[in-house]
Amino acid sequence: MFGLLNPLLVATGATPLDQEKWVDGYFADLALMIAGNWLKIWIEIGAVLSVIGLYEAQLSSCAYQILGMADIGVVPRLFGARSKWFNTPWVGILVSTLVAVAVSYLNFPDIISSVNFSYSLGMLLEFASFLWLRRKFAEANRPYKVPLPLQGWWLCA
């Protein structure tokens, strides 16, 4: 928390607060005004490395999720192929990369709309799965059970 709060407090306390200037990249400009070019360069390097790390983490998790789905038969076995050298799911990495490249051509509002649409479909699938499993396996032993009858959950869904 202090890693974000301290730089933000310094930036807002050492410079005049003009909210119209706070656009992408302005934090590096503030570093230039406060401490000089060396801090601006370090902030830009840190931002680039942070984005690369976040992308790699997301790419890895998506690739291994695709591999797991191939292992249990949800998607074709082709998606479970692994690299001979590194034992990584190369088809999952390729699919995730192609999706990222395709999305990079969209503008930001379209990306947000598609993410919200996909999330909504996922939530509908989750509710449908819940209702189906609750009806099909009503007497199954569970570590917990939602304390509403099935009719109450139809209203919530």
The position carrying tokens 């976040």 is: 54
Band the pLDDT of 106: cuts 50, 70, 90.
very high
Q: Which of 47-56, 67-76, 138-147 is the least confident region? A: 138-147
Measured CA angle at 74 (ends 71, 78), to 5 deg: 60
More confidently predicted of 39 and 139: 39
Query: How large is the average pLDDT for residues 128-143?
Result: 84
- Phi, psi at 18, each rounded to 5°: -120, 100
The rounded distance, in Å, linking the Cα atoms of 135 and 120 is 23
Q: Is the pLDDT of residue 157 over 70?
A: no
What mean pLDDT is reported for the chain?
88
In this prediction, residue 23 carries a pLDDT of 84
Give the predicted TM-score (pTM) of the model.
0.65
For 4-46, the pLDDT digits (tens) are: 788 888 888 888 877 888 888 888 888 898 999 999 999 999 9
**Domain residue extents for the chain:** 108-157
DSSP assignment string, the chain: -HHHHHHHHHHHHHS---GGG-STTHHHHHHHHHH-HHHHHHHHHHHHHHHHHHHHHHHHHHHHHHHHHHHTTSS-GGGG---TTT---HHHHHHHHHHHHHHTTS-HHHHHHHHHHHHHHHHHHHHHHHHHHHHHTTT---S---SS-HHHHHHH-
Q: Is the pLDDT of residue 62 over 80?
A: yes
For 76-94, the pLDDT digits (tens) are: 999 999 999 999 999 999 9
Q: Provide the token pair at 127.
A: 């509710």
- Are 51 and 39 in contact, with CB atoms under 8 Å apart? no
